[in-house]
Structure 1
Amino acid sequence: MENVKMSVLVATDLSSGSENALRAASLHARRSDSKLVVLHCLEAAAEGVALKDFVSHSEEILASAKRDALVELERTYQDAVAEELRPSEVDFGVELKFAGVGVLEALSAESFELVVLGPTGAGTLSGMLFGSTAEEVVRESTVPVLVVPPDAHTEAIGSIVAPVDLSECSRASLRHAVELAQLHDARLDIVHHYVAPYGGLLKLDSEPAPESLERLEAERREALEAFVAEVDLSGVDHRLKLWRSSVTNSSPAESIVEVARDDEADLIVMGTHGRRGFKRLFLGSTAFKVLRHAPCQVMVVRAQK
């Protein structure tokens, strides 16, 4: 088994909603025997915030605010994560920056292999993902991003779902899922979603004949097996799953979420091209739909150029 070493960064706004992210980050760092860095960004003192336009912050005031925030950060972590569940090395940091900027700058300044995020304030995971820190980090990060719902199971990773579309992007995320399955001794379900053809423009709800569906399923299974054969699954308890839908009744994101619910999965690991602007359509239509509706933690692995 390849040894997976992770330097884990977790960002928190000190709210109760982000406590689950602290626990999840601690689990990953502890299992990989890695350092955990806990970051809080004090946005009220960030450059450009309206407060700074009206109140003259001296260096002493800013330094005092940073010290107070650091004390609160350490207390929040200690309250959220039991001592026996913490990794051996935990560092704390406070930055006077907007959260997205602070996280991305931290990632560029130090070698991390994972960043962990939770919802902000009292908002839901779905609500936090539009124009938020999470969206910015998922879109821009060059390392995997783990997004943790406030009610997700974080005590252990026993079941992982890895959706694949047979692209090189999903092969990279599958390899990452395999490493995590080895690290956590978890079962891995490799899921491929495909769409059944339909009978024409006037018959969108009709399915082809059973023999056509059987032939299509055999073809997709053969393609999936060939795709997975190029990934070393030694020692991993895994299953291959095909998920068929029609043009009108399902999407890849819905299929991924449904499989995760059926399997009572603890983690979904999926890839994204991480494209920007208009070309973000893939991220917006698939990865972010999964992030918004998944019943468990979701790790997004960005394709490397």
Structure 2
Amino acid sequence: MKRIKKIICPVDFSDISDEALEIGTQLAEKYAAAFHLIYVLPRPNFYDWTLTGMSNIVLDDYFEKTKAEVEVKMKSLAEILEKDHPFLDVQYEISDKMDAAQAILDKAKEFKADLIIMGSHGRRGINRVLMGSVAESVLRHATCGVMIYKGKSKPIK
């Protein structure tokens, strides 16, 4: 079995993402692996928003403000993880690609990741058709190992 040296963990600050992150930090610590977080914040496409009447300037301002807020959260998250896990070296990045799955796959390739650990929201039905499944796309196209965390099981009623 190949030794795990580099782990990527996509985050979106949801509960499921936080739980997957905890698993990722434990594995990174256990294997003394490099640990890289990625947050995907798609840049608004002016042409997609023309019907709303919003100008490109307003969209760019909104994007930059949101990106600055995410930057603060990501920096804080990395600092907390390094404090809680002293042997962990956490790097992070914010991607502005429109396709979250492709952004994760590109970062995994660039980072030469051995493992991607991510949460799945488990969308079904029309939500899945409309929103797709980032986790499923990453799982299908990744050239490294992928661990999908779906959350704690719930009792059947």
Q: How does the TM-score come out when normalised to structure 1?
A: 0.42
1:1-305 matched pairs, under 5 angstroms:
23=1, 155-199=2-46, 200-201=49-50, 208=57, 212=61, 214-227=64-77, 231=81, 232-245=84-97, 250-274=98-122, 277-278=124-125, 281=128, 285-304=133-152
CA RMSD of aligned residues (A): 3.0
Q: 1:278 to 1:214 in 2, by over 3 A?
A: closer
Cα distance, 1:160 vs. partner? Answer: 0.3
Cα distance, 1:223 vs. partner? Answer: 2.6
Which is greater in Rg? 1
2: CA distance, partners of 1:298 / 1:223: 25
- Pairs aligned (count): 145
1: CA distance, partners of 2:126 / 2:34: 34
2: CA distance, partners of 1:185 / 1:230: 18
* Larger proportion of helix: 2
Structure 1 unaligned runs (5+)? Answer: 1-22, 24-154
1:195 maps to a residue whose letter is P
Identity percentage over the alignment?
A: 30
Q: Is the 8 A contact 2:78 2:90 kept in 1?
A: no
Cα distance, 1:214 vs. partner? Answer: 4.2
Cα distance, 1:198 vs. partner? Answer: 3.7
Q: Is the 8 A contact 1:166 1:224 kept in 2?
A: no
Cα distance, 1:197 vs. partner? Answer: 2.6
Cα distance, 1:258 vs. partner? Answer: 0.5
2: CA distance, partners of 1:299 / 1:229: 24
1: CA distance, partners of 2:33 / 2:14: 24
Structure 2 unaligned runs (5+)? Answer: none
Q: 1:208 to 1:260 in 2, by over 3 A?
A: farther
